[in-house]
Chains A and B, each alone.
Chain A
Amino acid sequence: MANKGQIHVTELVFAILLVVVSLYAFFPENLRLSSSWQIIKPKIEIYDFLSSSDKIKYLPKFLKNVSSEIQKLNLDFIAGKTFVLNNYPRSIQISCNCSNSTINLLSNATLNHLINSEKITFYFCQTHLESLNPCLGSSRILIIENLPGNNYYNFLQNLIENKYSLILYVDPNTNFNNNDIANKIFGINNSSRTSTLQNLTFDNSKIFLINNYNEEIYKNSYNIYKNFFGIVISLPTSLTEFVSNCVNIRAGLIYIYNSSYRHKFLICNSSHAYIDLNRNGNFESNEIFKAGDSLKFLGFKSNVTLVYIDNKTFTIGIKFDFYNNEFSDITNFANVFPIDNNNYRKVLVRSDGVAGLIVNTTRGKHVFFPKLNDFSEDKKALLVATLFWLAQRIENEKFFTNYFTYDYNYTFIPYEIVVN
């Protein structure tokens, strides 16, 4: 028991400790104002830099030698950052609710082509809507060969909730009216509408411009367009042909536009190839080309670039050059239009408004791709461009991820940059 004037020291110390600890509880750190600017500001600045560099095609030079370019640029926000390139998927699995012959057709159409000078492998595996079996467990792309009835609508909606991208690969002469899947998921019907051309253009300072600027095009068809003009289609040889002055005699066919437009080509040697542009069956003296040359096929509006000649694998590579407005060689795609008449949901549009394919990005990414019996080279490029776009997914755990383009012989080729 304490005497008068005495305090128990232990009681005193304990009381003080209790007060101090409770004060820290009253003023916790989270009462302080938090700000996200330190996170957001670098993202805005880096995005500006990457998109601006992309516009004037400086980005490839920057990425080839990041450390020395950073020193020249004198930008504060870039110092110490690492730029990791090429994180896009190199093998893409696609589930296909379709027949074996369709799978074979699609597999052959997507074989050996180059994106950013690398091969992307596409695996198609068969599945059924009744018992969906995604390819190797990782596929989130589903091709549907025949238009399902309305009874499948809820099922497909469920897939969309689970981040599936759907491709409706059916005969364009199918009746899409009154089908919920066609109307609501893919946003298409058969009503014929007059549409204006998209007025895509490429100005002479090599900046990709769009005349009637509309954010819709960036949301919808822009990425497929960018992919399409960057994909290098690989053309194999299988024929033999003798041409004087040529060492190699392996020949193949370039199939452009429709089945009557088959152009023979011959790999002459390691640096030159003959290409029968005027389709008269002969290789004329002005029809010999080297890598980088521009090709003008008879009857085809767009120019094509001969990208490479490989006399070890006996293949050549071609890509489609950017052109204005009309894409002349859409056939068999009549009578299918975006239900909202949004012209920018179309890719590769003919003068009468018919399109190579129609996208819908209202919920997820979905594509109506008209069914073909055979794939010309431009259709192959369109299919690969579409599948590559659908396979791209942004992963949230990365600091900064965006998709830009890489200059490869003055073309657009897609890739991903991750900034850490």
Chain B
Amino acid sequence: MKAQISYEFIVTILIFIGFFTYVMSQFLSFKVNSEINLNMENINLELFKISEILTKDTGYPSNWNENIASLKRLGLVLNGSLINILDMNKVNNLTIINPSRNYCYNITKYLDANITISLVIEKIYPTNQLLYNCTDINLRVFNLSIERVAVANDNSLLKIKIYGK
């Protein structure tokens, strides 16, 4: 009869609303997951780039440790090294470039990093020794990290760990 809503109509509306809600929730979760994954990809790429620069490049100028004021780009490889041996003098000079342990602002600047990072450099062989550490205390949890190992010019192994967020 006129102006009467039948049960069939109600059920149909309910099914439609349910279906619409379900589709939107799936789409939104897909979108969110994609964004998270893309972000993680970006962080991983950035971490890899930073670790490569630190462990495979002398920095610019290549003898920046002799005159820290001249530093344009950070790199830890020994000036003139042919097989990417790291310079302990450059590692020790990181505390001059970025003295604060509470943020890595200058490290980030001289690496042109696009993410917030935390850097830890340790000697792992023949002895264990923390050589350098800077971390952003405002960001307590870091999503991702990369750990690289390299030889230093004192015949030791160094671990360079970079956290990123």
Contacts and interface: CB of A to CB of B under 8 A. Distances in A.
Given A35-B44, A72-B128, A52 B149 contact: yes
Nearest to A19: B19
B149 A49 contact: yes
B37 interface: yes
A4 interface: yes
Given A45-B147, A52-B150, A74-B128, A5 B6 contact: yes
B151 interface: yes
Contacts of A16: 15
B45 to A, nearest CB: 8
How many A residues touch the partner, as a band? 35 or more
A23 interface: yes
B104 to A, nearest CB: 20
Contact of A56 (B6, B30, B41, B151): B151
A334 to B, nearest CB: 32
A41 B52 CA distance: 12
B8 A73 contact: no
Contact of B149 (A19, A31, A45, A213): A45
A33 B128 contact: no
Contact of B151 (A27, A52, A72, A76): A52
Interface string A61-74: 00000000000111
A53 B82 contact: no
Interface string B38-76: 101100100010000001000000000000000000000
Given A56-B151, A58-B157, A31 B30 contact: yes
A170 interface: no
A6 B7 contact: yes
A75 B44 contact: no
B37 A75 contact: no
B7 A5 contact: yes
Contacts of A52: 149-151, 157
Contacts, number: 103
Contacts of A33: 33-34, 37-38, 41
A211 B80 CA distance: 10
Nearest to A47: B149
Interface residues of B, number: 39
B88 to A, nearest CB: 13
A205 B26 contact: no
B82 A75 contact: no
A78 to B, nearest CB: 9
Contacts of A398: none
B85 interface: yes
Interface in B127-161: 128, 145-151, 155-157, 159
Interface of B: 6-8, 11, 15, 19, 22-23, 26-27, 30, 33-34, 37-38, 40-41, 44, 48, 55, 82-83, 85, 122, 124-126, 128, 145-151, 155-157, 159
Interface of A: 4-7, 12, 15-16, 19-20, 23, 26-27, 31-33, 35, 37, 41, 44-45, 48-49, 52-53, 55-56, 58, 72-77, 205, 207, 209-211, 213
28 contacts: A19-B19, A19-B22, A23-B23, A23-B26, A27-B26, A32-B34, A33-B38, A35-B41, A37-B40, A41-B48, A44-B48, A44-B146, A44-B148, A45-B146, A52-B149, A52-B150, A53-B125, A55-B85, A56-B125, A58-B126, A72-B125, A74-B124, A75-B124, A76-B147, A205-B155, A207-B151, A210-B82, A211-B82
